[in-house]
Amino acid sequence: MRQPAQTAGSTPDALDVQSVRADFPILSRTVHGKPLVYLDNGASTQKPQAVIDAVRRFYEHDYANIHRAVHELSQAATEAYENARRTVQRFLRAESEQEIVFVRGTTEGINLVAGSWGRANLGPGDEVLITAMEHHSNIVPWQMLCAERGARLVVAPMDQTGALIWPEFEKRLNSRTKLLGVVHVSNALGTVNPVRRMADAAHAVGARVLVDGAQAVAHAQVDVNALGADFYVFSGHKIFGPTGVGVLWGKADLLEAMPPWQGGGDMIRSVSFEKTEYAPAPAKFEAGTPHIAGGIGLAAALDYVTALGLPAIAAWEHELVRYAHERLAEIPGLRFIGTAPRKAAVVSFVLDGIHATDAGMILDQEGIAVRAGHHCAEPVMRFFGVPGTIRASFAFYNTRDEVDALVAGVRKVQKLFA
C-alpha cells in the first residue's frame, strides 16, 4: 500500500498536499471541461487509492461470508473484518474491540441507541437534550422515541455566531434529563462543541451522552474516553472510506445491558421456537450479513489518515479555513453563516439576492463542487433566517488555489445576477 507523503512536524507546511492529491484518482478529472475543485467533503469525502485497492483486493482474492464457515476464504474474510474492528478501536482509542459495533453509518448508529438504549431507559416525563445545531439524524430519532415513550425533547440554543450558549445549556439540564445528544462538529456551521465540558455537566445530573462524530473524525484525533462520551457514532464515507458502513462505539457495560435492536442470523447464541439466547456485544447488534468490504475499506481509510497524521491534517485545514474566510470576506454582498470561535473545516455563506441552489449550479459549471441547501439542518437555517447556504467543506487534499477558484466562481455568480 502506498503510504501518504508527509514531512516532519505538524505545521501547515508539514503536509505535502500535491503529493497527497496524487493518492486520490478522482481529483485529476475534469467537470464541464474545468479541473475538478471538490469542496463538498462535509457531505462525503473522496477515496484514496489505498481504500480502492483494499476493497478490490477483498473482492478479487478473499471474498466470502464471515463468521459461519470453516473454509479458507471465510476464515480469511472473517480475520480481515475483525481486524478492521480492531483498527477502529485503536483509532478511537477505545478500551476494547467489543465496544465497536459496525453499522451502516451515523444515522443507523443513532437510531440503534434510540431504539435499544432509549426504549429500555426512557419513560413518561423523561427528557432528551440536544442542541439547536443538530443534523436531522440527531433530531428525528429522538422525536420519534419521545413520542413513543411519552418523553420530551429539549433544545439548548445557540447564539448568532453558531456557538452553544452555555448558561442556557446548563439551565436545561436537570434530573429528568436521561440523555444528551450532541454533534461534535456542526455540519452546517463548522462549530466545534465543548463536548467534554458538556458531558461532565450531563453526567453530573445522571444523563448519558451520545456524540455525533460524523464531521469530526476526519479532522482531529478522537479519544472517546477523553471526550467523556457514552456513545460515539460516525460514518465511513466521511473519512475517506466506503459508503454504507459506519461505527457505533459504546461503553462495554452499556452495550451489554442493551437489548438487541434487530433479530436475525449471527447475533445469537442459540435459537429454538421457545426461546432465543443472544450473543454478547457487539455481535448482538450486527444481525445478518454485514458490509464486509465496507469494514475492510474503512480500516484502510483509517490507516491512511493515521499515517498522514491528524495533527498535520488539522493544521493544514485550519489554514485553509482561515484563508477562505479572508478571501471570501473581500466579496461585497457575501455574509458568513457560522462564525463561532472554534470551527472545523466548513465555511457556509449566503449571497445577497441569490438563492444558494442557483449559486451552486453556476459554480458546478466552473467545475466547483459545493453543497447548496439546508444541509439536513433545517432548524439551523430557520434560526439564521435563510432558506439555505452555500457550504464549502474542506479536506486535507484541498489547496489555496482551489479557494481562489471558489472566490472567482462566486464573483462570476454575482456578475451573472447583477
Distance, in Å, from the CA atom of 414 to the CA atom of 335, rounded to the nearest integer, reads: 13
DSSP 349-389: EEETTB-HHHHHHHHHHTTEE-EEE-TT-HHHHHHHT-S-E
**Largest Cα span, the chain:** 73
Is residue 316 classed exposed, middle or buried when 0-12, 13-18 and 19+ CB atoms within 10 A define those classes? buried
Distance, in Å, from the CA atom of 109 to the CA atom of 97, rounded to the nearest integer, reads: 16
Grid coordinates in use for 252? 462495554
Q: With CA atoms as reference, report the closest residue to 390 among 363, 353, 418.
A: 363
Distance, in Å, from the CA atom of 62 to the CA atom of 58, rounded to the nearest integer, reads: 5
Are 242 and 236 within 8 A, CB to CB? yes
**Tell me, what amino acid is at 239?**
I
Radius of gyration of the chain (CA): 22
Please tell me which residue in 140, 155, 252, 376 is annotated as part of the active site. Answer: 376
Q: Which residue has the cell 464531521?
A: 215
Active site residue 146: no
Are 141 and 148 within 8 A, CB to CB? no
**Residue 133 Cα distances to 23, 150, 164, 257, angstroms:** 34, 24, 8, 30
Question: What angle (nearest 5°) sits at the alpha carbon of residue 256, between those of residues 250 and 259?
Answer: 100
Are 338 and 161 within 8 A, CB to CB? yes
What is residue 82's three-state secondary structure?
Answer: helix
Distance, in Å, from the CA atom of 381 to the CA atom of 80, rounded to the nearest integer, reads: 43
Grid coordinates in use for 131? 442542541
Grid coordinates in use for 45? 469525502
Is residue 252 classed exposed, middle or buried when 0-12, 13-18 and 19+ CB atoms within 10 A define those classes? middle
| Strand-pair partners of 334 | 351
The region that residue 155 occupies, defined by phi over 0 for left and psi between -120 and 50 for alpha, beta otherwise, is beta
Are 400 and 416 within 8 A, CB to CB? no
Catalytic residues: 376
